Amino acid sequence: MSQDVIGILADSHGDLAAFDAAYELLRGKGAQRFIFLGGRYTDLDEWILDRRERSRGGREYSGSDFIEDVARWLAVTEQKPRPRSLSIPDDALKSLEGDPLLVREHFLRTPEKDSLQYRDPSIPRKVLDMVGDTLCCLVHDKNDLNRDDLLNALIFIHGRESEPKLVQIGPRFFLTPGRLAGAAEQTCALLEREDNELRFSAFRLDGKTVLEPQTLAVDRKTKLSIK
């Protein structure tokens, strides 16, 4: 049995406490990798630095910390690439608990229009990812999608929405986790795959389910139907 559990976060707009709460909630629900859809692209980096500082207990960053960080990054880059559609082994998940620097390796993210990264040609505005054998397109603003995107992918995961939603248009699905900041409820979402079934659900940061799991079955032609 193959499984993939993906945590989805969007539109944190500098609220690192909400980002942290969403990450811990989704990791507690079994998320093995994560998607951050912007809303402030650099929040991921600032959140990781914040976790790193807290892991030192507020102690000033020292030369030995720098050497240790470099050694860890070298260890990560020397590892053989792992297909993103595969689950992360339990020992790797345990390492994430104690080493914030490794967390970034399990995130995909996309920039928003008002960020410098959106104008950087080296940073993709849209990211393609496989969930099982289904192609997904990740983007902060769904209005950035073009005809080729709509022809190539079947699942579109986007931000810039006030609440979690799953919308079906023909054989395609548009998923959004809602917002971590600037909405009536702070929410995040989970996309789960078990063999050929996909389930999408969403939660408030206190753990309450705001969108019950909805199951999407993938047929042999990779077209989707919702149950």
Output the tens digit of pLDDT for each of the chain's 227 residues. Answer: 668 999 999 999 999 999 999 999 999 999 999 999 999 999 999 999 898 888 766 556 565 655 665 565 556 455 544 444 434 444 444 444 546 667 888 999 999 999 999 999 999 999 999 998 899 999 999 999 999 999 999 999 999 999 999 998 888 999 999 999 999 999 999 999 988 799 999 999 999 999 999 988 654 354 444 55
Helix 43-55, helix 16-28: angle, nearest 10? 80
- For residue 135, give the 3-state DSSP assignment: strand
Domain spans of the chain, in order of start: 3-226
Q: Which residue has the tokens 């707009």?
A: 13
Single pTM value for the model? 0.82
Q: How far apart are the first and last CA of the chain?
A: 21
pLDDT of residue 225: 47
Tokens 């997904």 label which residue? Answer: 136
182, two tokens? 């600037």
- What topology is assigned to 3-226 in CATH? Purple Acid Phosphatase; chain A, domain 2 (3.60.21)
